[in-house]
Structure 1
Amino acid sequence: FQLDYLDLYFCHRPDKQTPIEETVWTMHNLIQQGKILYWGTSEWSAQEIMEAHMVAQRYSLIGPTMEQPQYNMLERNKVEGEFAQLYKTVGLGTTIWSPLASGVLTGKYNDGFPQGTRLGIEGLDWLRDNALVEANLKRVKELTKFAFDLGMTMPILALAWCLKNENVSTVILGASKASQLQENFKAFEGRDRLTPQVMEQIEQILKNKPAPPPF
């Protein structure tokens, strides 16, 4: 299947061996050639994104419009903390990945590693160690009960919570079955049920909101 152009091209992870000017010029040229419509960054820091915009401004080029960071109830630092000023200064959008924290926010790891699940795969000890922190499991267990009281599943609550953030443009979903994908779409309905009061109740369970940036 051949495409004439890409809607959005991501520069995945900053290239420390390449001057930022070269990256911005290359992306600008691809847009001018009609090969891409927009370009974005993936796993870049706020400083690196800002540097790209400064280069774009200096040479009248097109800067990045989207960043692809990890974001979920258990990982909030970049989207809610580090990038806070970028939304205002450069109009940054975000396409977030791992909204279910490698499946931890589905609640399926609350009591161990079910057979056939990602964290049950041999050789992924590093991922298990990072994901299954005791404090996070405690949060998920409380959130699972809270989701039940709201009349929704834990995965739907986690996805709806991400969608509720006005700085989240797109949520990347990962599903191993069509039924899981269809279930995930219910997050749009769930989002509308997350009132300010409900969001505050969730915050009281999470207690991990990043401190605002010092500027």
Structure 2
Amino acid sequence: MKKKKLGNTELETAPIIFGGNVFGWTLDEKESFKMLDELLDKGYDTIDTADVYSRWAEGNSGGESETILGKWMKERGVRDRISLHTKVGSDMGQGHKDISKSYILSAVEDSLKRLQTDYIDLYYTHWDDDKTPVEETLEAYQKLIDQGKVRYIGASNLSAERLQDSLDAAKAKDLPKYQVFQQQYNLMERDDFEGEIKTICTANNVGVTTYFSLASGFLTGKYRKEDDFEGKKRKSFVQKYLNRRGLEVLGVLDEISEAHQISNAGVALAWIMNRPGVTAPIASATKSSHLKAFDEAVSVNLSEQEMNRLTEVSKK
């Protein structure tokens, strides 16, 4: 499997990054271990998680995903085979987002403990708090890099202005630079990335990873009428796509997937993988069979015409 380089780093990733938000949410510990074993066997060795995952599940308080991942790496003895990405700054129950220096330096210790490791390969600013000076946040990361607790940093969900300010401050004050930017991007949600964010990332050689790459499962094609998501945990995420545009996107996916004899998910991921400016999509799976779409996306060659059809039908 051909690896891709993340920004100006020594980190390489498989063409698809596994999203660890399912650990402790839709997958319990035993199921998570099974999924992680299969991923590593297939060569998908980059795992994306966050301190806040899976806080939203009933009975959880945050940190469940990191805890499961840390236990698995420890039991299997595979930490050195994993490119480990996690995040800081989201609401962990304190009632607000926080990317101040003091908060980051405290939160990283909790993440390292849960992950049962002494370093994080890529540490993201998860959400902006819209008040901490960008220099202060980067100074916190400088300290963690100097201590060997973090190798590289990235950012997620920042505004174009705050991203640019952070990149400018890193250059002007010799502070760590965000090497990767993570943003929502898929056939149903294109505006968050395309435009100013994409321009900034391209101009500054910032790698891009995309979350909700399958639009919370909508692009798999399994949600085509309201009855399909009733009682499902992802209902609140996918019901907004059940409209004329969404069904037209699914229609084109149906045709292209049939032509290649692969799944809709495989085609949707392949589209992202071949979009300008994107390094790798992040995708999750809850069953072994779902991983087939990863392999399909990596191996399929979409024609220019097929790429254009998908790009055109998904325009708003």
- Structure 1 residue 189 and structure 2 residue 270: aligned? no
> 2:189 pairs with 50, 75, 80, which one?
75
Q: CA deviation at 1:123?
A: 7.8
Q: Kindly tell me: are residues 72 and 135 of structure 1, through their superposed partners in 2, closer, same or farther at Cα, counting changes over 3 Å?
A: same
Q: Which residue of 2 aligns with 1:51?
A: 165
1:200 maps onto 2:314 in alignment: no
Q: Which runs of 5+ in 1 are unaligned?
A: 209-215
After TM superposition, give the deviation of residue 91 of structure 1 in Å. Answer: 0.9
TM-score w.r.t. the length of structure 2 is: 0.59
Query: What amino acid sits opposite 1:11 in the alignment?
Result: T
Distance 2:156 2:227 in 1: 30
Runs of 4+ in 1 over 6 A off after TM superposition: none
- What is the percentage of aligned positions where both structures have the same residue? 31
Deviations 1:150-181, CA, capped at 9 Å, x for gaps: 33221110011111124222221211112212
In 2, are the aligned partners of 1:107 and 1:141 still within 8 Å (CA)? Answer: no
User: Which residue number in structure 2 is paired with residue 35 of structure 1?
Assistant: 149
**1:213 matched to which residue of 2?**
none
Are residues 1:11 and 2:125 paired?
yes
Amino acid at match of 2:124: F
User: Residue in 1 aligned with 2:198?
Assistant: 84
Q: What SS does the corresponding residue of 2:286 show, helix, strand or coil?
A: coil
What per-residue deviation string (whole Å, max 9, x for no partner) do you get for residues 104-152 of structure 1?
10111124443xxxx4336866434433233212321232123212332
SS of match in other structure, 2:193: helix
* Unmatched 5+ stretches in structure 2: 1-73, 75-115
Count of residue pairs brought into register by the alignment = 202
1: CA distance, partners of 2:127 / 2:121:
19
Letter of the structure 1 residue corresponding to residue 304 of structure 2: P
SS at match of 2:284: coil
After TM superposition, the structure 1 = structure 2 runs for residues 129-208 of structure 1, keeping only pairs within 5 Å, are 129-190=239-300, 193-208=301-316
Q: 1: distance between equivalents of 2:235 and 2:291? A: 27
Equivalence for 2:110:
none
In the TM superposition, residue 58 of structure 1 has moved relative to its aligned partner by: 2.1
Distance 1:79-1:124 versus aligned 2 partners, 3 A rule: closer
What is the distance in 1 between the residues matched to 2:238 and 2:216?
Answer: 9
Alignment match, 2:224 = 110
> Which whole-Å CA distance do the structure 2 matches of 1:7 and 1:35 have between them?
9
Alignment RMSD (CA, Å): 2.1
Assess, with a 3 A threshold, how the Cα gap between structure 1 residues 89 and 138 changes in structure 2: closer, same or farther: closer
TM-score w.r.t. length of structure 1: 0.84
* Secondary structure in structure 1 of the residue aligned to 2:178: coil
- 2 CA distance for matches of 1:123 and 1:175? 14
Cα distance, 1:183–1:197 mapped onto 2, change above 3 Å: closer
Please give the secondary structure, in 2, of the residue aligned with 1:167: coil
User: For 1:38, what is the secondary structure of its paired residue?
Assistant: strand
